[in-house]
């Protein structure tokens, strides 16, 4: 059964690679694969489910759309934060939390990650490396604070979403497509 399932997975990945060659979001998918924990299936799932990520004005807006932000119960002066809202696309949220598990190991540039990164621009590579350093550190920090591993991975997934948004906007900018990101008022 395991060998049969592996064969089906490999066949599916081959079909996805064939589709990727002609997909309008090809460049963004390849750029997302420079991130640790985001490979072909995860990148294509994120983009197929969400479409153009630059339509979100900011990374926190995308995080909220995916339900990765804490809920809040407020009355008067009291504010109480709860678990994540779980609103929005649960499929993408699950993929991101699964990707978050890969940040439990120390940051390093593996040969496989380097091969994916070489297919992207220097800016995307810089974002991916910054993400890896920050998220590995974040994972360790939250674990040392006594958080549960599942909560830590959800928090890492929330921050990973911000880096995914940044990479998507960077690729769209390179392609000459205007994004709708907010600029800070001077």
Say whether pLDDT at 69 is over 80: yes
Give the pLDDT confidence of 92-120 residue by residue, as tens digits: 999 999 999 999 999 999 999 999 999 99
3 state DSSP class of 27: helix
123 class by beta-carbon count within 10 Å (0-12 exposed, 13-18 middle, 19+ buried): middle
* DSSP codes joined into one string, 75-102: ETTEEEEEEE---S-HHHHHHHHHHHGG
Cα 48 to Cα 30: distance, rounded to the nearest angstrom: 13
The closest alpha carbon to 153, from 90, 91, 84, belongs to 84
Say whether pLDDT at 180 is over 70: no
Q: Are 168 and 26 in contact (CB under 8 A)?
A: no
Q: What integer best gives the mean pLDDT of the chain? A: 91
Which pLDDT band, with edges at 50, 70 and 90, does 186 fall under?
very low
The closest alpha carbon to 45, from 32, 56, 58, belongs to 32
For 23, what's the count of Cα atoms within 13 Å in the CB-facing half-sphere? 21
* pTM across the whole model: 0.87
Q: Are 102 and 153 in contact (CB under 8 A)?
A: no
Q: What is the pLDDT of residue 86?
A: 85
């Amino acid at each position: 059964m395991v060998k049969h399932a592996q064969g089906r997975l490999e066949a599916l990945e081959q079909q996805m690679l064939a589709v990727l060659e002609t997909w309008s979001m090809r460049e963004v998918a390849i750029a997302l694969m420079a991130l640790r924990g985001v490979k072909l299936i995860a990148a294509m799932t994120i983009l197929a489910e969400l479409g153009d990520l630059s339509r979100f004005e900011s990374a926190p807006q995308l995080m909220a759309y995916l339900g990765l932000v804490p809920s809040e119960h407020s009355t008067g002066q009291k504010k109480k934060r709860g678990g994540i809202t779980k609103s929005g696309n649960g499929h993408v949220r699950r993929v991101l939390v699964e990707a978050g598990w890969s940040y439990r190991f120390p940051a390093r540039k593996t040969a496989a990650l380097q091969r994916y990164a070489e297919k992207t621009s220097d800016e995307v590579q810089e974002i991916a490396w910054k993400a890896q350093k920050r998220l590995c550190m974040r994972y360790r920090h939250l674990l040392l604070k006594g958080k549960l591993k599942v909560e830590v991975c959800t928090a890492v997934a929330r921050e990973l979403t911000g880096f995914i948004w940044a990479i998507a906007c960077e690729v769209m900018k390179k392609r000459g497509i205007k994004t709708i990101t907010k600029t800070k008022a001077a």
